[in-house]
Chains A and B, each alone.
Chain A
Amino acid sequence: MTAKSQEALGDSSPLAPATIGLWTAQISSIVRIELRRSLFGRRAILTWLLAVTPVLLVLSMALFPPTARWIADADVRANVWAYLFETLVLRAVIFFGCAWSFMNLFRGEIVDRSLHYSLLAAVRRDVLVAGKYIAGVLAAVSIYLPTVLLSIALTYLPMRTGDAWRAITSGGGLKAAAGYATVTILACVGYGAAFMAMGLFFRNPIFPALLAYGWEFINFLLPPVLKQISIVHFLRSISPVRVSEGPFAILAEPTAWWIAVPTLLILSSILTVLSGWRLRRYEIQYGVD
């Protein structure tokens, strides 16, 4: 041991007092660690594989157009993309991708027996939850948002450059892309909060996730009141193009965007606060977990 090291440890370079400034520094540190794990760690491989699926599908449609109308008719492309977005991107890729990464935020560390390192740091447990949640959302958005935007861009590939540019700028393309981007971000925010809470409240969170999937899946069969107890209903409400839910669907008015967006944000906040409450009471008993 060198004298320098002893000095460095002995000097109690004081931490900032417990204020917003300290919490911000702590959250950004947690975000840095988690982002690295979520974007570049081994667990990210599956997320990236999922994210690339819709891009490859749209690319293959651009290279091998399924019908002549796919090339000529912008409405056909918009409808096919809307169906692809809702069926594959929203209900499978983002749903499952968020389940994978957000449930791992805490449950993964419990299984790895490394959560205690975070709980033994001089940080409020709710700040820890906030940091991990923000990191999860940032990671999910930075993976799925480019997926969505790139896929939308690829739907314009069969068009001539000039036509494509006009369709994007003056044909409502940009507005639609912004709409899909908003839905994507809100999906990450909403599903993320739900899956993080499941990871903290349940020892086996995959089963509640399975129930949640079932509930979201049968949403089209539910009466209007029950439809609103789901995230996908609000996301569908603000989607730029409403996809038909089939002949058996019970129709319901979409929720106005100014209700849907705050509702999703409030729901996510409540779930995050609940997660913080759970973590404050959490005891490290890895053998039991």
Chain B
Amino acid sequence: MTAASGDRIVFEDVSKFYGEILGVNRVSLNISPGITSLVGPNGSGKTTVMNLMTGLLRASRGKIRVLGFGPDEPEMLFRLVGYCAQFDSFPPGMTGFEFVASYLGIYGYSRRDAVRRAEAAIDRVGLTEAARRKAAGYSKGMRQRIRLAQSIAHGPRVLVLDEPLNGLDPIARAEAISLFRSFAAEGLHLIISSHILHEVDVMSDRVVLLNNGYVVAEGGVRGMRDEMSEHPMQVLVRCDRPAQLAAKLFERALVVEAVAQDDGRSLFVRTKDADRFFASIGEVVLSSNLSIESMAPVDDDLTAVYQYLIETGGSVS
């Protein structure tokens, strides 16, 4: 184990085929601590990547190391990794507490340690009151939370969460996101898959965008957006004289499109060179004696990146 790979999750040219069906193809990743979100449409390969990472699936080719350990070393790997998989099922007849505590026993914890850790994990997900009830009778949100408790109970350094916000009500979602952020602040790796783009946008340090089994893009959301030069960035500017501003921007070739909004105080512009646009607009405003109220990019979020790269089949230049 090298020092570099010791704190990273590394995929080297990993492919997984289910017979003739492609799971993921030639995935190379190098993930550092923090929250990394896997984003992509259904069937894009998010769960496959997570299952490969945790040894529930075996790679057809390529190499996977999680903090220096491979999926074939479960005894060491799963001391460091907790996986809250998407399977919404439980061993029959167990209460929430028994579910968490019994699997800790399999790790080798003493009965006392297992109980202490199970109680702590259940407390952390806010399910203490329902812990002694049969897990099969839980609501969907409670089931999600008890599975989360089970995955964090052994104090992992890597937490893999497949659609962890599914089934949670808005308040529970906010609490869960805050919990994830606190884990990240403690130096954990969090690998999260989600469909809810604005929530991913809020909580992620970086995003891996998957489509049809391929990694389409990887990195910070803003960074990704900046690299998509063939997709003009859209900016909404509120000012006192939109028509005059548009003329000046065209004059200097800072925008490729400008649309005055119906309210008469806003201008919607599209620019191919966002850096130059933002660097020059101050000078334009000063020279024309315009007054600008606000200026905000409207498509530098994950939704826009997702639309460009996946829904329109685009790619990063």
**Total A residues in contact with B, Cβ cutoff 8 Å:** 47
Chain B's nearest CB lies how many Å from the CB of A25? 5
Q: Which residues of B contact A236 (CB under 8 A)?
A: none
Q: Which residue in A22, A120, A125 is a CB contact (below 8 Å) of B83?
A: A120
Task: Name which of B81, B82, B93, B186 has the most chain A CB atoms within 10 A of its CB.
Answer: B93
How far is A114 from B126 in the complex, measured between Cα atoms in Å? 23
Interface size class of B (residues with CB under 8 A): 35 or more
Report the number of A-B residue pairs with Cβ-Cβ less than 8 Å. Answer: 129
Cβ 8 A contact of B152, one of A4, A9, A123: A9
Does A41 lie at the interface of the complex (its beta carbon under 8 Å from any beta carbon of B)? yes
> Inside 8 A of B117's CB, which chain A residues have their CB?
8-9, 13
In the bound complex, what is the Cα–Cα distance between A33 and B186 (angstroms)? 33
Beyond A9-B155, A113-B87, A119-B56, whether A42 also contacts B92 by CB under 8 A is yes
Q: Hey, which chain A residues are within 8 Å of B116, CB to CB?
A: 8
Q: Flag whether A10 is at the interface (Cβ < 8 A).
A: yes
A123–chain B nearest beta-carbon distance, Å:
5
Q: Is residue A230 within 8 Å, beta carbon to beta carbon, of the partner chain?
A: no
Cα distance, A29 to B114, chains bound together (Å): 11
B67 CB to closest chain A CB (Å) equals 13
Stretch of B100-108, B208-216, B239-247, B270-278 contacting A (4+ beta carbons < 8 Å): B100-108
On whether the beta carbons of B123 and A122 are closer than 8 Å, the reply is no
Of chain A, the residue at the smallest CB distance from B78 is A122
Query: How distant is A278 from chain B, measured CB to nearest CB, in Å?
Result: 13
Asked whether A207 is an interface residue with its Cβ less than 8 Å from the other chain, the reply is no
Q: Report which of A15, A37, A41, A285 forms a contact with B107, defined as CB distance below 8 A.
A: A15
| Residue from the list A26, A281, A286 in contact with B108, Cβ < 8 A | A26
A contacts, CB < 8 Å to B: 1-2, 4-13, 15-16, 18, 22, 25-26, 29-30, 32-33, 37, 41-42, 109, 112-114, 116-125, 127-128, 280-281, 283-286
Other A-B contacts than A2-B123, A283-B58, 18 sampled, CB-CB below 8 A, are A4-B120, A5-B121, A9-B120, A9-B155, A12-B155, A13-B109, A15-B109, A25-B108, A26-B106, A29-B105, A42-B92, A109-B91, A117-B91, A118-B103, A119-B55, A122-B106, A124-B74, A283-B57
Nearest 3 interchain pairs by C-beta:
A8-B120, A29-B105, A5-B123
User: Could you write out 13 A-B pairs with CB less than 8 Å apart?
Assistant: A6-B124, A8-B116, A9-B120, A13-B109, A29-B108, A119-B74, A120-B54, A121-B103, A122-B107, A122-B108, A123-B107, A125-B74, A281-B58
Which residues of B are in contact with A by a Cβ distance under 8 Å? 18, 51, 54-58, 72, 74-79, 81-83, 85, 87, 89-93, 102-103, 105-110, 113, 116-117, 119-121, 123-124, 126, 150-155, 179, 186
